Amino acid sequence: MSNTHSSHLRRRDAAVRKLVVERVGREWCLFLDRDGVLNRQIVGDYVRTWGDFEWLPRASLALKMLAEWAPHVVVVTNQQGIGKGLMSAEDVAAIHQRLRAELAADGVLIDAFQVCPHLTSAECGCRKPRAGLVLDWLRQHPDSEPCLSIMVGDSQSDLELAHNVAEASGGCAGIQIGSGTGRGAVVDASFDSLWDFAVAVGRAIGEEDLLCSP
């Protein structure tokens, strides 16, 4: 391992430790993008039915680990295919119902699925990177501290979303999954997969437990 590589990993571990330490005993929400984070992105098309939904390797286990850490977990997803008429809002809701049921059977609770169904051209306030999907949820859940929010996503717009939420609410960490484009986006840490992020969080929690034990 080169020095540059190991110092990058040290910085990343430190960033994750900070995320963990700052949130101990607090009420906050982990916001997750869906396609490319939980399930395989279908290039040039949409996940139109449950049959199209393909979990990324160990993503559901990662979600289970992260849900044990985060008091709230919310999926935020642009589904422009609805606006294009390729699928209905009910089709997407049905997919999320199946997803929720599958996870619930494993003891994992997803607080909400926040979906933007609009076309880019609609210029709505909820299509990522605009902050509407996140801010709506935060407004409805005043117990959750907005500035402790974390946004996890694989695309530039997810990281811009984190930035936009931070502008509006005083803070929001951005975690990048996959190599992505990352053009100049502010990222607190990046990982190859949701699983790698969950492992880093688990390690940081373990270290904190050691520090806190008598």
Q: Cβ of residue 90: shortest distance to Mg ion, in angstroms? A: 22
Mark residues 115-134: x for contact with Zn ion by CB under 5 A, - for none.
Answer: -x-x-----x-xx-------
With beta carbons less than 8 A apart as the criterion, state whether 174 and 158 touch. Answer: yes
Q: Which of 13, 35, 188, 196 is catalytic?
A: 35
Among 67, 72, 115, 154, binds Mg ion (CB under 5 A): 154
Strand partners, 151: 31, 174
Strand partners, 78: 116
Strand runs (DSSP E) across 55-193, as ranges? 72-78, 112-116, 150-153, 173-177, 189-191
106: annotated active-site residue = no
The SS3 of residue 85 is coil
Q: Cβ of residue 32: shortest distance to Mg ion, in angstroms? A: 10
35: annotated active-site residue = yes
> Rounded distance, CA 195 to CA 17, Å?
16
Q: Which of 13, 33, 91, 192 is catalytic?
A: 33
With beta carbons less than 8 A apart as the criterion, state whether 159 and 187 touch. Answer: yes
Number of amino acids touching Zn ion (CB under 5 A): 5
User: Would you tell me which residues interact with Zn ion (CB under 5 A)?
Assistant: 116, 118, 124, 126-127
User: Would you tell me which residues interact with Mg ion (CB under 5 A)?
Assistant: 33, 35-36, 154-155
- Catalytic machinery residues: 33, 35
